[in-house]
Amino acid sequence: MSNHLKFFIDGAWVAPATSALLDVIDPSTEEPFTAIAVGSRADVDKAVAAARAAFPSFSQASRETRLDLLERILAAYNRRSEDLAQAVTREMGAPIQFSRESQVGAGRAHLKSTIAALKEFSFSEMRRSTRIVREPIGVCALITPWNWPLNQIVCKVAPAIAAGCTVVLKPSEVAPISGVIFAEIMEEAGTPPGVFNMVNGTGPDVGQVMAGHPGVDMVSFTGSTRAGIIVAQTAALTVKRVAQELGGKSANIILPDADFEAAVRQGVEGCFGNSGQSCDAPTRMLVPADRHSEALEIARDEALRFVVGDPQAEGTMLGPVVSLQQFNKVQRLIEAGIDDGALLVTGGEGRPGHLNRGFFVQPTIFGHVSNDMTIAREEIFGPVLSILPYHGEEHAISIANDTVYGLAAYVQSQDIDHARRVAGQMRAGSVYLNYPKWDTFAPFGGYKQSGNGREYADWGIHDFLEIKGVVGWGE
């Protein structure tokens, strides 16, 4: 744990400006397993100064130089993959096999897709006699969440470097150790001093300071809509660009011509993955009213398959949610579902009966949910699925779009043309037809209160670029 109490600034591990520490809790045991230093304004100032000093040189680095750096980062990432997986399992409770394949795998996939995108990316073009140039925006503050720590770190760091920006990263203080290891990877890869900096700490002490810092040109934030609003308000005072990937309450429309049983079962699996802690999870399942009872039976049967327990144990499918705060929130919302009159099909309040510690949530299914209920409106971020009946396709589409969020939507039909027509009416940044394979070259981001900007591959690179028109170039 030699670097847990340090920050990575200007190419070196340095002591923080203050002595404040924060325990990192293992959510499966409720016990701390390490601690991190808590940063302050002085630490942010130091990191931003390093990034500003590095920017003039790195912004002029060739495409080949940046590609070579990203390739070295990928190689170091692969060498540390087991360390990363163990860290994610300890800090946020993901089952170890899920950490290896999905959590660590996501970061690897994004590094590869960013490298591929950078090879083909066009940084300039001619329009009539004007040359359009895409240039790095500058120093970027990157604020990442705890639920998919490596996915979001790489989703921001890799395209920022591809664009020629320098960065200051603040990983989530709830799950920070994977971020420390990632900083070690950046060091091992020979990242030039000041190009990548990392400061740990809380949102108010570090995140907001970064967002409002006059030396920062852009903020890229992933987290809750509530926190995103604070970041945007803080950043507005210095008129910097803000890219945000925020909350979601994604609808999963199972059309009458879908393979019904398979669609329901896969919908439950999609909702429960990562213990329900995914912003784009299909948490509202919409089924034809005349098959609602059938859907509840299938969903209940599928939910009972999920093995909840020790994330290090073989066969565990669901670990704990990340923290006591998150556990209490999920319990409150399960209680709200019961109080609002939804039918509790399986699961419910409290831990699974065989567990007496840890922030474990019972896999929970609600039926007879209406879209005005709390569990259909609020992002729960736990293994809790709401099943809503609909009367006709227009009704289903209306329910799906009746939300302040617009991150993702799902449509199931054996008629692909039918699914495509419905997808065209979804007010969401991503629409997934018939549970497709994950595509790291597709744009990812949301409509409405789910944020702005897009991540993944070349979409992410664009977010970190300014556009300059050189008029008269061709005259």
- Give the pair of three-digit tokens for residue 144: 């990442």
* Residues 373 and 342: beta-carbon distance below 8 Å: yes
- Annotation says 271 is catalytic: no
- Annotation says 245 is catalytic: yes
Q: Which of 165, 184, 279, 302 is catalytic?
A: 279
* Residues 209 and 232: beta-carbon distance below 8 Å: no
User: From the CA atom positions of the chain, what is the Rg in Å?
Assistant: 23
Contacts of 35 (CB under 8 A, 6+ apart): 4, 5, 21, 22, 23, 24
Contacts of 149 (CB under 8 A, 6+ apart): 88, 91, 92, 103, 171, 172, 175, 178, 179
- Give the pair of three-digit tokens for residue 466: 């300014």
16-20 contact pairs (CB < 8 A, 24+):
16/40, 16/43, 17/42, 17/43, 17/46, 18/42
| Alpha carbons 452 and 469: distance in angstroms, whole number | 24
| Alpha carbons 205 and 41: distance in angstroms, whole number | 7
Q: Which of 173, 245, 302, 455 is catalytic?
A: 245
Contacts of 467 (CB under 8 A, 6+ apart): 132, 133, 134, 135
Which residues are catalytically annotated? 245, 279
